[in-house]
Amino acid sequence: MDLRKSFSRGDHLVWLTGSALGTSLLMILGLLVVILTNGLGIFWPSPIEQVTLKDGTVFAGEPVQRQAIPNPGQPDHLQKHRFQLKVGNRDLYGFDFKWIDEADVQQRERPSGVYLVERSEYGPLVGTPVRVLESEKEVASGAAAAAALPPLVEKAERDRRVLKGIEKDEIGAVNYAIERIRLERRRLDYQERTGGKDVSAERKKLDEKEVADKARYAEIEEKLAKQMETAAATRIVFRAADGQEKELRALDIYRAYPANDLSWAGRAAVYASRLWGFLSDEPREANTAGGIFPAIFGTGMMVVLMRLGLDVSYSLVVGAACGRRLDSFVLGKFAIGR
């Protein structure tokens, strides 16, 4: 009898849905653990290995993985191994990763002074800083170039903030004002067509304001160009493992560190910086570098707005069901005007 009452009340469905909910939560938690376990290690700075092959070719990069070489039907099947290096320097080599057979290696080492440089394009650069140029003048070389690199990276960060402020705030404000003038002209056109009102005086004022705004826009553009020229004057020359040299503007460098010379505390600092940048920066290089802050912000706003919409909808429905005026119910529900 109790079992029949339990089924009639739907208790078994309550247990079923509760179990399904618990299972779903455990699956989501497990997925998050897998993502965090595999993802958070990406930000830890790895050492850089320099590999010299028997034919004299030299590569340097971060070791990624090692695997057995398949050769089905042969005695050496899965007996030999190869490893993968993240060599970077895509603009120099044309590739980011390199598979190397261990049988072809003559020497593997972790040299001091090799930097991993995170830059604005072409992925990371692996090399040694050899010269610092100011315009066309060499201001540092050798060890002095490496010592000058950290303050130059910090200055580049400040310069990027200044340039972004000019582009987004100052130029953005002028563009907004010009767009308002365009919309105001359309409003005057409508008034002139429908009411026959004389709007020549208003048009003249808009024309004068547009001329002033465009002059202001030209001034800001000139200011931006001068700031960009000043910020881009400093350049650093890096030498790759194979001897090729690459010149980078300091403005394009986001992070640079000597991968093989870092202490544990230094690696932890780089890790924290990378993780914070991933959470707080905007994406760059076609979403292959930088951060995901816009996605986080957009997702958060979507959740908040959806929740607010559900609350308002529920309040309106309940207020209508109770026979109350919707405006007074909403005002009382959300304490608007109090």
Q: For 200-222, what is the mean pLDDT?
A: 93
Residue 66 lies in a domain: no
Residue 300 lies in a domain: yes
Residue 324 lies in a domain: yes
Q: For 56-77, what is the mean pLDDT?
A: 91
User: Does position 192 have pLDDT exceeding 80, yes or no?
Assistant: yes
Rounded to 10°, the helix 293-321/264-280 angle is 50
Q: For 113-131, what is the mean pLDDT?
A: 94
User: Of the given ranges (45-54, 81-90, 236-245, 286-295), which has the lowest mean pLDDT?
Assistant: 286-295
The pLDDT confidence band at residue 331, using thresholds 50, 70 and 90, is: low
Residue 218 lies in a domain: no
Q: For 315-331, what is the mean pLDDT?
A: 61
Q: Does the predicted model carry a pTM greater than 0.85?
A: no
Q: For 98-127, what is the mean pLDDT?
A: 94
Handedness of CA 260, 263, 267, 272 (dihedral sign): negative
Distance of CA 246 to the CA centre of its chain: 24
Residue 127 lies in a domain: no
Domain count along the chain: 1
Residue 313 lies in a domain: yes
Residue 231 lies in a domain: no
Query: Which residues contact residue 325 at a Cβ distance below 8 angstroms, ignoring those fewer than 6 apart?
Result: 319
Q: For 219-234, what is the mean pLDDT?
A: 93
Q: pLDDT at position 338, please? A: 46
Residue 227 lies in a domain: no
281-289: long-range contacts, CB 8 A cutoff, minimum separation 24: 284/120, 285/120, 285/121, 285/123, 288/123, 289/118, 289/123
Q: For 303-319, what is the mean pLDDT?
A: 82
Q: pLDDT at position 332, please? A: 56
Q: Which residues span the domain enclosing 314?
A: 296-334
Q: For 121-149, what is the mean pLDDT?
A: 92
Q: pLDDT at position 337, please? A: 45
The pLDDT confidence band at residue 288, using thresholds 50, 70 and 90, is: confident
Tokens of 22: 């618990």
Instruction: Quote the DSSP letter at residue 260.
Output: T
